[in-house]
Amino acid sequence: MKKKSCLAASALLLVAAAPAAFAAPDWSKVPKRDVVVFSPGATPIEWVMKKSDHSGRTGINKGESCVGCHEEKGGLNFDMARLAGKELEPAGAPKTLSFPVTVQAAYDKDKLYLRLSFKAPKDAAAGADREEASPKHEVKAAVMLLGAKVPMAAQVGCWATCHADVRSMPGADPNKKKYISSASLGGDVYADYFQWKSGEAGKGAVQLDGHVAEARVNKDGKALVKAEGENKGGQYVVTFTRKLAGSAGDLALAEGAVVPFGIAIHADRTIHRFHHVSLGYTLGLGADADIKASKQ
């Protein structure tokens, strides 16, 4: 008699666990889109918008996007020698200047699921800023979603937050964090972001849910449910589960939304601007976009 009630109890547990298990997308069925991330050096928005530095400025003013000019045949058409050189990266560029991140996205009635798969290089330059304090995160992966009212959000992606006077830029204030000009949390003039950090060897990974408005804030977000990552010999798979519902610092998402976003990978313990970043792409929830999230 005792045994039987025990069995019944475990059967109940199984039933209770089932809905959560079903909610996670079957990633083998979700389409994949490669997004190339690259070492951008010191090319903040002020550089991008200065004609003598970047002739692309004229096109941006006419409404063209970074991706429109720089993505070709699934890759980026940058002059890699220039990205590697002292002109754009005085501190030294990594050997691996760019690599693909496979992006998959899905959503259901209340959550967004984003999955990034990539091989993290381990060849940052000696001059790059590194994680010194504990935990030493070997790799960090972040996604930034841009508010609909951020100027040029769909054209420039994360560059809306990247400025010449932000810490780690040549000659900049070491304490100034990235920001959005004329930001407003209430008016959707901010970037929402979440990040997975691998954690020091033997210690658990860390997740972060923040936003960038007048300054970067590494906390206060309530939408990120979890960020999970695995590392199989340098091959990383990072999955974010995020509520669609928004609040201050968490952009509200809904079916039909097309959200500008970008990705940043800090490999080889790098911090600050020494990351590999994507240009600005769009994520569509059941709507046409660069990456179309599949409905679950």
Q: How far is the CB of 113 from ligand HEC (least distance, A)?
A: 27
Contact 120, 265 (CB under 8 A): yes
**Size, binding site for ligand HEC by CB under 6 A:** 21
Q: How far is the CB of 149 from ligand HEC (least distance, A)?
A: 18
- Binders in 35-54 for ligand HEC, by CB under 6 A: 40, 43, 48, 54
Backbone φ and ψ for 210, nearest 5 degrees, come out as -135, -160
Contact 236, 95 (CB under 8 A): no
When binding is defined by CB under 6 A, the residue of 37, 66, 93, 224 that contacts ligand HEC is 66
When binding is defined by CB under 6 A, the residue of 29, 32, 50, 82 that contacts ligand HEC is 82
Nearer to ligand HEC, 58 or 247 (CB): 58
**Alpha-carbon torsion, ordered 160, 163, 169, 174, to 10 deg:** -110
Distance CA 170, CA 167 (A): 8
Q: Give me the half-sphere count of Cα atoms (radius 13 Å) on the Cβ side of residue 222.
A: 5
Nearer to ligand HEC, 27 or 78 (CB): 78
When binding is defined by CB under 6 A, the residue of 3, 9, 28, 79 that contacts ligand HEC is 79
Candidates 36, 194, 197, 189; CA nearest to 113 is 194
Nearer to ligand HEC, 106 or 142 (CB): 142
Q: How far is the CB of 108 from ligand HEC (least distance, A)?
A: 33
Nearer to ligand HEC, 269 or 276 (CB): 276
Nearer to ligand HEC, 55 or 175 (CB): 55
Is the bond preceding residue 260 a cis peptide, omega within 30 degrees?
A: no
Q: Please tell me whether residue 285 binds ligand HEC under the rule CB under 6 A.
A: no
Q: What is the torsional sign of CA 43, 45, 46, 51?
A: positive
- Binders in 243-282 for ligand HEC, by CB under 6 A: 279
Q: Please tell me whether residue 156 binds ligand HEC under the rule CB under 6 A.
A: yes
Q: Using the CB atoms, write b or e for 64-80: b if 16+ within 10 Å.
A: ebbbeeebeeeebebee
Residues that bind ligand HEC (CB under 6 A): 40, 43, 48, 54-56, 59-60, 64-66, 68-70, 78-79, 82-83, 156, 159, 279
